[in-house]
Amino acid sequence: MELITKRGKGLKPWQKGLLFVLGTLLVIVLGLVIFVNAYISRALPSIEGTIQLDGLYAPVEVIRDGSGVPHIKAENEHDLFLAQGYVTAQERMFQMELSKRLASGRLSEVVGKDALYSDRYFRTLGLRRAAEKSYAIYSEDAKQILQWYADGVNAYLKDARSNHEMPVEFFLMGIEPEPWTPIDSLTIGKYMAFDLGGHWERQAFHYYLLHHFPEEKAYELFPEYPDEVPTIIREEAYVDVQESFSEAILPNPFNGSNNWVVDGSKTRSGKPILANDPHLGLGTPSIWFQTHLEAPDYNVSGVIFAGVPGIIVGHNEHIAWGVTNVGPDVQQLYIEKRHPEDPHQFLFEDQWEQANVIEETIEVKDGEPVTLEVVETRHGPVISEFAKESGDDTVLSLRWTALDPTTELEAILEINRAKSWETFEKGLEKFLVPAQNFVFASKDGTIAYKANGRIPVYPRGKNALLPLEGWIQENEWQGFIPFDELPRVVNPEKGYIATANNKIAPENYPYHISHVWAQPYRYMRIEEVLSEKSDLTVEDMQTLQMDQMNLQAKEFVPLYLDALKGIHLSLSEQEVLKVLSSWNFRDDQNLAAPLIFHKWKKEIESVIYEDIPEEMMEFFKAKGQTTDELMRKAFRGETVAWIEEKGGIQSVLRTSLSKAVKQLRKEHGTEVLNWKWGDAHRVSFVHPLSSVKVLSYFFNPEDPLPVGGSGVTVMAAKKGTDGMVDHGAPWRFVADLSDLSQAWHMVAPGQSGHFKSQWYDDQMDDWVNGDYHVTKLKEMEGKTLYLIPEG
């Protein structure tokens, strides 16, 4: 201070004034920083001490362990679910609000006109309308639990408002959250059915192919060549799917999962071990919220979607279970003939039927409200016009099981309390959408599997490959596969059960399930490891979940190299092939070979499908499965039009290799041995507000991390269009049935939705490196919060 004073003596008046202004600004800025930091910190959840909570009957104990997992212990069901709602809202209220708005088609209210396409689409689908219909058929007990959970969320909102502790994201977006309702919880559940997809996109793609390419060439891109060639409807006005669905919101085709269970004959403990890692979007906060619930008749631990009560996947003191997506054909596009004079009437069996017309008003921030007319035929909403006018007299409607009234929460509450395979399977009767592959293990040694859910029965001679004529009775679904006839396995002789979105039904299975399955490589690798090993441990299961063996590359790289023998290649291309020839086929982040293989594979697809518009390629669901089969046929010497028209398999490989090498040299330099998969394969758990650049520095956990694995390895890590890994397993789980007082978990990037929380991104490195945390059902240690009744 003395130095500043001495130096200041010689300053001119304007310099002194400038210093004064700068000093004042500095004080103001520091004050603002301190104020903003204090304001943001106020929103951090109270995790110690006592909170009076309106509506509780008795005190509730909430222990947050070292990984931020809340262990909620209540004396009754009412208090348990009220506390679950409160605690979840403490950590994830902003995520819950956005999820509800997205699924309900109400983002425009807070985002503005940029969200209109999304809102129009979800209002047209009617996920919230389906949730309302579902609520009507729920039992009074389930309705009570939904209400108790909502009461807990609303108690949090009341406290946060009165104490000025709302998360800063609400302030930044100008959102005032509304009271939570049971319908909000069910709507989020319906959105998860949407996110796990269907297959209408592939039907639209096939429809497009048959109207733009020769029939034989079009059929080559069908997932399987149909035994009975589908009828192509040419006499009717063509619905331009490229134009109609240009703004459709499509679930990521990589959404899938791995799960497996082994019995005691193959484990060191002599009891079953179960593992599960569902593959969904990777973002901040995680799509999963890990929780432990304890009350009379409840002691269950696992994960649930923020905004929904109960535990959807996990374990209790008696059993453990895991899920993967079955991926059945549960969506059917119908071509509808509209009355030439009345746009709300549609033909069915020579009679005109009146459609259900719903007027939806979409409020738009800083804009005028937008009115949307939703038209529902006997099959479902007309979706070919949600974005653009399509055809005057012909439209496409969507029949989808998730738009029916369904009772998934009833099932969740029953399986949370199940003690045996019999009681667990009984609970599954109420789990209808999305159809899931459930694997199960119990302390008595039983392991089991069921492909569970509502799967439609197609009329004889019909299939789910193309849109069907909506005016013909025989094209209607013939009910659903009976519950007792769904694929099921209990205690198989081989000692294990595994699924990875692979084909599940044997050839003699009497019902159609799906034409499109995931590429088989993840399942093949899981089966390879489980069949070869015994004396398995939890650590073995964790290692398998992180396995990076690429069986697709193991199959195709030798074929690629053999096909290019004797072909003139540049020195850099020769060097690239040399690297591939010595590869161990592991998608290791530190190797060059995975980078080369995946880039080459992408360029192969771009060469083969260059005649298909980019916007239609998004509808080419399970493209990898089809491409692999085309390549196999070409290598066997069979004629494949898509490849022959590009000069044959050798020409396709040569052209695509040249493109790949040029691009890789441009992006990664000329020294091939310095290339690394991790340089182009990095994970960043992106926050919804990070599209605003300045906010990304706060809300995105940290710089993207190099990561191994890929879309075809057991360690699922799939790149998005921006080159960043955005799909994989946000949660990994292993349970040893010899001791169900604990289990191993990983929830990335962390448990909390508050960026200043210690649990915001503490599991990001764990996700990359395969480090798990133990969650206990008893003797928990951590910060303790007591929720007590008011007064």
151-210: pLDDT as tens digits:
999 999 999 999 999 999 999 988 999 999 999 999 999 999 998 877 899 999 999 999
- Gyration radius of the chain over CA positions: 28
When pLDDT is cut at 50, 70 and 90, the band that residue 227 belongs to is: very low
With left for phi above 0 and alpha for psi between -120 and 50, is residue 553 left, alpha or beta? alpha
pLDDT at 20 over 80: no
**Which residues, other chains included, contact 458 with Cβ-Cβ below 8 Å and sequence gap of 6+?**
329, 464, 477, 478, 512
Q: Which residue do the tokens 């009341």 mark?
A: 158
Please tell me whether 588 is known to bind a ligand.
no
Six-digit token pair at 362? 């979409």
327-350: pLDDT as tens digits:
999 999 999 999 999 999 999 999
What is the C-alpha separation between 180 and 88, in angstroms, rounded? 12
CA trace torsion 772, 773, 778, 784 (10° rounding): -160
Q: What are the beta bridge partners of residue 789?
A: 53
- Where in the chain are the domains? 2-42, 551-585+592-675
CB 17 within 8 A of CB 24: no
Please state, as a whole number, how many other Cβ atoms lie within 10 Å of the Cβ of residue 388. 12
Six-digit token pair at 642? 């898509």
- H-run or E-run covering 526: helix 521-532
Six-digit token pair at 183? 């319908």
What is the C-alpha separation between 644 and 1, in angstroms, rounded? 82
State residue 67 phi and psi, 5-degree precision. -105, 10
Residues with a known catalytic role: 257
168-184: pLDDT as tens digits:
999 998 899 999 999 99
What is the C-alpha separation between 58 and 60, in angstroms, rounded? 7
- H-run or E-run covering 416: helix 408-416
DSSP helix, strand, coil percent of the chain (3-state; round to 5): 40, 20, 40
Amino acid at position 697, single letter: Y
Report, as an integer, the average pLDDT of 203-224.
93
Report, as an integer, the average pLDDT of 457-464.
88
Query: How many angstroms separate the Cα of 269 from the Cα of each of 346, 536, 671, 706?
Result: 63, 8, 49, 35
**Which residues, other chains included, contact 515 with Cβ-Cβ below 8 Å and sequence gap of 6+?**
199, 202, 222, 223, 224, 329, 463, 464, 465
CB 66 within 8 A of CB 135: no
Instruction: With 0.85 as the threshold, say if the pTM is over it.
Output: yes
728-763: pLDDT as tens digits:
999 999 999 999 999 999 999 999 999 999 999 999
State residue 437 phi and psi, 5-degree precision. -85, 105
476-488: pLDDT as tens digits:
999 999 999 999 9
